[in-house]
A and B are shown apart, each in its own frame.
Chain A
Amino acid sequence: MAKPKVATTSLAGCFGCHMSLLDIDDRILKLVELVDFDKSPIDDIKKFTGRCAVGLIEGGCCNEENVHVLQDFRKHCDILVSVGDCATMGGIPAMRNTIPLAECLEEAYLNGPTVHNPSGRIPNDPEIPLLLDKVYPCHEVVKIDYHLPGCPPPADTIWQALTALLNNNPLDLPYELIKYD
């Protein structure tokens, strides 16, 4: 039987959640036996090649491309998991949510105390995806099946969640794996 497929992506995240996934150490070998990776930065596949069992999402949506990718994941994955606080709540990027977009850009490219920008222009290349008015957690854009809290969630949490989902087991994470204080 063909191995189930897993896809991952980093939207408005810092890649820390992906690092945490890699942090499963030698279990990565087991993972490779268990699944094939489809679209993911781990194997650098850019486009979905087929249907996936599980999609892991890092980061929320801060621009139109994030939305597009997330919707693509929803179309291709049976189960979607928001991994980490950025995906589940917007996280650090969402700190801009109380400030109008224009002001954010001006602060970042013109007025900020550490800005060096002799051109005095805010970047506006057609290649740059349009920013959203604010950063949205994933479940406000598409249906999300599971949320893993943490910044990032520890490797053990991701491992246990993933293996449970792939084996059709209930997602019963012990308290130690989802407590952060």
Chain B
Amino acid sequence: MSQSLQDTVQQICRDHQNDRGRLMDIVTGVQAKFGYVNQQAIDLIAKSVNAPRVDVESVVSFYAFFSPTPKGKVTIRLCNDIIDRMHGSARSAQAFFDDLGIGFGETTADGMISLESVPCIGLSDQAPAALINDVPVTCLTSDSAHDIVAELKTHMDPQKLVKSFGDGKNSDPLIRSMVRNNIRQPGPIIFSPCVRGEAIKKALSISPAEVIRAIKTARLRGRGGAGFPTGIKWEFCRAAEGDRKYVLCNADEGEPGTFKDRVLLTERADRVFAGMTIAGYALGAEEGILYLRGEYAYLRTYLEDVLTKRRGDGLLGKDILGKKGFNFDIRIQMGAGAYICGEETSLISSCEGLRGDPKNRPPFPAQKGYLGYPSVVNNVETFCCVTKILELGPASFNEHGSAGSSGTKLLSIAGDCTTPGVFEVDFGITLGEVLKLAGAENAIAVQVGGPSGQLVSPKDYGRKICFDDLATGGSIMTFGPGRDVLKIAQCFMEFFIEESCGYCTPCRVGNVLLKERLEQIAAGRGQPSDLDYLQDLGETIKTTSRCGLGQTSPNPILSTLKNFREVYEKLVRPCEDGLLPTFDIHAAIGQAKRITGRESVVFK
């Protein structure tokens, strides 16, 4: 065993107090140092943190950003989502294939560069996009892909690929990114100016119970997608028995087509941390965790610096703003490329240093969450709203929005539209108005709420964006004339198949069956009864899956069956003789013909 590997791995473990709860950080550290986490490293980590080997191995194998086999010094991760495909990501991919001489999942012979195909990296408004190690590169063309490879071959430093910076804080010395914010419509709440420290000061001037009452009066509902009333969640958690409580901020932002949390973390980080601090006060928690998706690692140093400054200014740490006994601090937990970790119980698993498997509910996180202590998980935008509610009072928040959905909502709009980006709108706005804002009036279909949401057809453009009608965590993907509805559904099914944690059979297997049948239909080999099959199987998967991923994974098919049924009906034909067109005898005997050197005597 190489001594330097041993020393380094053990040092990384010691840096994290040999704490098995910090396995994510330890494995991230080893991966960053060596480019992979081999069997020896797994053994060493297991010994250092006193965990069964399989615990470490399952972490290494679960997350897309960890690898048990060597990766290149530089890894290019090209987004393969539908938006990027529509913007010609295949051309950039081809340029990478040609120049590197490798395909996806491969590493160049000299061990320098790896190429991977990954789901949405939160840059859909600047597609096609890729991450080169931690560095985002946007608006790729085949020319820029050629240039990237040529340059990398000379210096192997992804940061040097950034020639000009994006707007706002993207040019901060601690970010230095080409990413653009594309804030197209700043609204009166989330993007409005605000005085640093003001909201916390107001919160500390009232009791924790009154803080929760203010959140309830504002009728704030979670912005991550499910829309659970935030005040009620906090109340549960506050009432739950536990020596300690935790505040977790969900910055996993994995739903394809969502990128508004990235913009908030870039431009309104203070507001997010203030919201978490207020939650800490309301719940009686002393610790908070920001779970930052691995794809946003380029923001980490900046965010750490914001935290440091807040500590220096008495906004975090001991006796916050002079309030005796109110202590609260925040650490950043990095994710490592797993959509499922946005699901709150998986997120907790991941923070605990485990595979990102969802946990059974009940108990709910508010009763038994991180490390078994009562915990609140809220979305980045939700915490921003909290800060604004405390600063301006619930009434000014309530002025906006619709009956069941108060306040404003950030939408991330991308696809076939003239101005992709982030829009702050009042809840209750119709989809048609939203399309006008982004210059997508001619859309033939709109995916609302990401793959787990629904594909809406023009006859429903009068419907409203709010929790009681068209709910969305923020993702709006627009599809113009000529786009193929079934291709969109197929792409989303691939996403769910890839991201399923594999625990439940309906989700792990059922989605594959759905996708296969969908492909048969798309290829013109389907029958009318296949539509019933898709419907039945889809509903079974929804009702028998354990977590929200499986429970929504058939939506691309179920919602297109409902809203675009005519597309399916045009493709299917009844099979009169009962001999299924989906069975291809010539394909099935192909191998045997090659092996035996004979032709079939039955099937000519």
Which A residues are within 8 Å of any B CB, using their own CB?
A: 63-65, 67-68, 71, 74-75, 80, 100-102, 105, 122, 124, 126, 129-134, 136, 140-143
Interface residues of B in 542-594 (CB under 8 A from A): 575, 577-580, 582-583, 585, 587-593
Per-position binary interface string of chain B over residues 335-371, scored 1 when its CB falls under 8 Å from any chain A CB and 0 otherwise: 0000000000000000000000000000000000000
By a CB distance below 8 angstroms, the chain A residues around B596 are 124, 130
Asked if A102 contacts B583 (CB within 8 A), the reply is no
Which residues of chain A have C-beta atoms less than 8 A from B587's C-beta? Answer: 133
Say yes or no: B591 contacts A64, CB within 8 Å: no
Whether A141 contacts B603 by the Cβ 8 Å rule is no
Q: How far does the Cβ of B284 sit from chain A's closest Cβ, in whole Å?
A: 49
Q: Is B4 an interface residue (CB 8 A)?
A: no
B192 at the interface (CB under 8 A from A): no
- Mask for B186-221, Cβ within 8 A of A = 1, else 0? 000000000000000000000000000000000000
Closest to A144 in B: B578
Kindly list chain B residues whose C-beta atoms are within 8 Å of the C-beta of A74.
577-579
How distant is the Cα of A4 from the Cα of B268 in the complex, in angstroms? 78
Establish whether residues B585 and A100, one from each chain, have CB atoms under 8 Å apart when the complex forms. no
- In the bound complex, CA of A131 to CA of B591 (Å): 8
Find out whether the CB atom of A101 lies under 8 angstroms from the CB atom of B579: no
**Distance between B595 CB and nearest chain A CB, rounded to angstroms:** 6
With A and B bound together, what is the CA distance between A124 and B597 in angstroms? 9
How far is it, in angstroms, between the C-alpha of A153 and the C-alpha of B593 when the chains are bound?
35
Is the CB–CB distance between A101 and B591 below 8 Å?
yes
Q: Is the CB of B579 within 8 A of A71?
A: yes
Q: Please name 21 pairs of A and B residues whose Cβ atoms are closer than 8 Å in the assembled complex, sorted by A.
A: A67-B583, A67-B602, A68-B602, A68-B603, A71-B579, A75-B578, A80-B578, A126-B598, A126-B601, A130-B589, A130-B592, A132-B592, A133-B589, A136-B588, A140-B580, A141-B579, A141-B580, A141-B583, A142-B583, A143-B579, A143-B580
Say yes or no: is B3 at the interface (Cβ < 8 Å to chain A). no
A129: B residues at CB distance < 8 A: 602
Check if B69 is an interface residue, CB within 8 A of chain A.
Answer: no
B592–chain A nearest beta-carbon distance, Å: 4
A68 neighbours in B (Cβ, 8 Å): 602-603
Q: A101 touching B592 by the CB < 8 A rule? A: yes
Asked if B154 is at the interface of the complex by the 8 Å CB criterion, the answer is: no
- List the A side residues contacting B579 at CB < 8 Å: 71, 74, 141-143
- B2 adjacent to chain A (CB < 8 Å): no
Contacts of B600 on A, CB cut-off 8 Å?
64, 130
Instruction: Give A131 to B588 CA distance when docked, in angstroms.
Output: 8
The residue from A63, A122, A131, A136 contacting B583, defined by CB atoms under 8 A apart: A136
Please determine whether A65 and B583 come into contact, CB atoms closer than 8 angstroms. Answer: no
Partner of B591, one of A102, A126, A140, A143: A102
A139 to chain B, nearest CB (A): 8
Q: Cβ of B595: which chain A residues have Cβ within 8 Å of it? A: 101-102, 105, 122
Question: Which partner residue on chain A sits nearest B575 by CB separation?
Answer: A143
A132 with B598: CB separation less than 8 A: no
Which B residue's beta carbon lies closest to that of A127? Answer: B601
Q: Which residue of A lies closest to B585 (CB)?
A: A67
**Shortest distance in angstroms between B181's beta carbon and chain A's nearest beta carbon?**
49
Contact status B583-A140, CB under 8 Å: yes
Give Cα A63–Cα B589 distance, bound, in whole angstroms.
Answer: 8
Known: A67-B585, A124-B598. A133 touches B592 (CB 8 A): yes
A143 & B578 in contact (Cβ 8 Å cutoff)? yes
Contacts A71-B579, A141-B580, A142-B578 hold; do A131 and B592 have CB atoms under 8 A apart? yes
Residues of A within 8 A of B592 (CB): 63-64, 101, 130-133
- CB B18 to nearest CB in A, in angstroms, measures 40
In whole Å, how far is B50's beta carbon from the nearest beta carbon of chain A? 37
Beyond the given A130-B600, A132-B589, A143-B579, could you list 4 further A-B residue pairs with CB under 8 A, ordered by the A residue number? A64-B602, A67-B585, A130-B592, A132-B592
Q: Is the CB–CB distance between A142 and B598 below 8 Å?
A: no
| A133–B590 CB distance below 8 A | yes
Roughly how many angstroms separate A64 CA and B587 CA in the complex, as a whole number? 11
In the bound assembly, the distance between CA atoms of A102 and B596 in angstroms comes to 10
Query: B583's closest neighbor in chain A, by CB?
Result: A141
**Closest residue of A by beta carbon distance from B590:** A133
Contact of A133 among B582, B588, B602, B603 (CB under 8 A): B588
Residue of B nearest to A126 (CB): B598
B555 to chain A, nearest CB (A): 26
Contact A133 B583, beta carbon cutoff 8 Å: no
How many angstroms between the C-alpha atoms of A68 and B583 in the bound complex? 12
Do A64 and B589 touch across chains, with their CB atoms under 8 A apart? yes
A114 to B510, CA, bound (A): 38
| Chain A nearest Cβ from B527, distance in angstroms | 9
In the bound complex, residues from chain B placing their C-beta under 8 Å from that of A100 are 591
Closest to B597 in A: A124
> A80 — nearest CB in chain B belongs to which residue?
B578
Given A64-B589, A143-B575: A130 and B598 interface contact (C-beta under 8 Å): yes
For A142, what are the chain B residues with a Cβ–Cβ distance below 8 Å?
Answer: 578-580, 583
Minimum C-beta distance from A79 to chain B (A): 11
For the complex, what is the distance from the CA of A75 to the CA of B579, rounded to whole Å?
9
Please indicate the chain B residues that have their CB under 8 angstroms from the CB of A136 in the complex.
Answer: 583, 588
Shortest Cβ distance from residue B602 to the other chain A in the assembled complex, whole angstroms:
5
Which residues on A sit within 8 Å (CB–CB) of B578? 74-75, 80, 142-143
B529: nearest chain-A partner, CB-CB: A143
- Which of B577, B589, B590 contacts A75 (CB under 8 A)? B577
Q: How far does the Cβ of B598 sit from chain A's closest Cβ, in whole Å? A: 7
How far, in angstroms, from A123 to B421 measured CA to CA in the complex? 65
User: Could you tell me the distance between the alpha carbons of A134 and B597 in the complex, rounded to whole angstroms?
Assistant: 18
